[in-house]
Amino acid sequence: MTGPDSAVRDRARRLYEARATRKPIPPFTDEDPGLGMADGYAIQRELVAMLLADGERVVGYKAGLTSEPMQRMFGVSTPDYGPVLASTVHPDGATLSMDTFIDPKMEAEIVFRLSAPLRGPDVTVDHAREAIGEVMAGLEIVDSRIRDWRIGLADTVADLASAGAIVVGRPVPPTADMDPRLIGCVFSRNGRVVATGAGAAALGDPVAVVAWLANQLGEHGITLEPGQLIFTGALHAAVPLCPGDEFVAEFDRLGSAVIRVASRG
């Protein structure tokens, strides 16, 4: 098997440096409008290899653009995915500095922790449901190393699906009468409701997101492992952050997750 070509390595290196310096770069699709999803994932894999060489760890995966509002916001029509890195996971109630990010936005999601492996192809929703060990309220900060969020699908895929930071609430075991499609969410900023949603916003069923992700990763020989976190995608349009903000995502049956935002500097 041959390694990544020079263009892939160069683009991955540019993203790697943008992450380190928090200085955004122009979209790759500006210089090459023909870049597609496969190109984006090739860059993503090379970027992940660079981060793992630095001692980073993959502790799960996130699916992005699983809801219609998020797809409309970025002008795309298909989900994407990226790894959840250990350094991006923070405790519930964490205060995170704006200095950590470039142009962050917040979103609320349903999160699963797996208790059994899943490997595509042919993973069904039933298989995914059986592999879920815990369900949690989640908040994700999405951030883009691409300047001004001018992302094409290849750009955000390459940029680890615009991953920034995450928190999860207390784990809840799934029960026979828990239907993740029907789990409602109230999303508040500084005590004011700014969005609402339900699990069905994520590909019609958050569990279907897990199955989709397992099958996508399976094409590259990757297994979803027990203990990994699976973020299933925003249930509403992402909300920009400002210094001093407090965001709370309250979920029926799951409880809440909280992130506070400190000032820059």
- Which residues is 195 bridged to in the sheet? 187
Contacts of 206 (CB under 8 A, 6+ apart): 110, 112, 180, 181, 183, 199, 232, 233
pLDDT tens profile 162-212: 999 999 999 999 999 999 999 999 999 999 999 999 999 999 999 999 999
- Rounded to 10 degrees, the C-alpha dihedral 182/197/100/97 comes to -100
pLDDT of 124-147, one tens digit each? 999 999 999 999 999 999 999 999
HEC string of the chain? CCCCCHHHHHHHHHHHHHHHHCCCECCHHHHCCCCCHHHHHHHHHHHHHHHHHCCCCEEEEEEECCCHHHHHHHCCCCCEEEEEEHHHEECCCEEEEHHHCCCCEEEEEEEEEECCCECCCCCCHHHHHHHEEEEEEEEEEECCCEHHHCCCHHHHHHCHHHEEEEEECCCECCCCCCCHHHCEEEEEECCEEEEEEEHHHCCCCHHHHHHHHHHHHHCCCCCECCCCEEECCCCCCCEECCCCCEEEEEECCCEEEEEEEECCC
Return the pLDDT at 2: 47
Q: What pLDDT band is residue 70 in, cutting at 50, 70 and 90?
A: low
Residue 122: pLDDT over 80: yes
Most distant CA pair in the chain: distance in Å? 54
* Residues contacting 198, CB < 8 A, separation 6+: 181, 182, 183, 184, 185, 235
- pLDDT tens across 73-99, in order? 666 777 899 999 999 999 999 999 999
The predicted model gives 145-150 an average pLDDT of: 95
Q: Give the sign of the dihedral formed by CA 60, CA 47, CA 91, CA 142.
A: negative
- C-alpha triplet 172, 174, 180: angle, nearest 5°: 100
Task: Evaluate if residue 3 carries a pLDDT over 60.
Answer: no
Domains and CATH numbers, the chain: 6-262 (3.90.850.10)
Q: What is the rounded CA–CA span in Å between residue 205 and residue 59?
A: 23
In tens, the pLDDT along 194-203 reads: 999 999 999 9
Q: State the chain's mean pLDDT as an integer.
A: 94
For range 18-34, the mean pLDDT: 96
> In the chain, pLDDT over 90 holds for what percent of residues?
89
